[in-house]
Amino acid sequence: MTTEPLGELNLPHRQLLGPGPSNVHPRVYRAMMQPVIGYLDPVFIQLMDDTQRPLRTAFRTENDMTMAISGTGTCGMEAAIYNVVEPGDNANP
């Protein structure tokens, strides 16, 4: 069985105003076309170090453990709750 290659996908431009999917800025598309680097690559480590300063400013902290993490929205919510709920707190209403 042989398959024919698919042609180029030419979709009309749409302004998406719903909760998702959403339009992506051309700058983001250009960034996504860059070569992939691993999380242990010195360039990636430097990028993470450079990201810490603006994050500390945004969150008004001097915490050495301030860092960006990749994950889903659920991961972000869990990280936020983990940083707000103290040991011994009752998280159930």
Q: What is the pLDDT of residues 11-64, one digit of tens each?
A: 898 999 988 888 999 999 999 999 999 989 999 899 988 999 999 999 899 888
* Runs of H (alpha helix) within the chain: 26-32, 42-59, 73-84
**What per-residue string of b and e applies to 29-58 under the rule 16 or more CB within 10 Å gives b?**
eeeeeeeeeeeeeeeeeeeeeeeeeeeeee
Provide Rg for the chain, Cα atoms: 20
- CB-CB contact of 38 with 44 (8 Å): yes
pTM score, whole prediction: 0.51
Q: Would you say residue 93 has pLDDT above 80?
A: no
Mean pLDDT of 55-83: 87
- Which DSSP state fits 35? P
Domains of the chain by residue range: 26-84
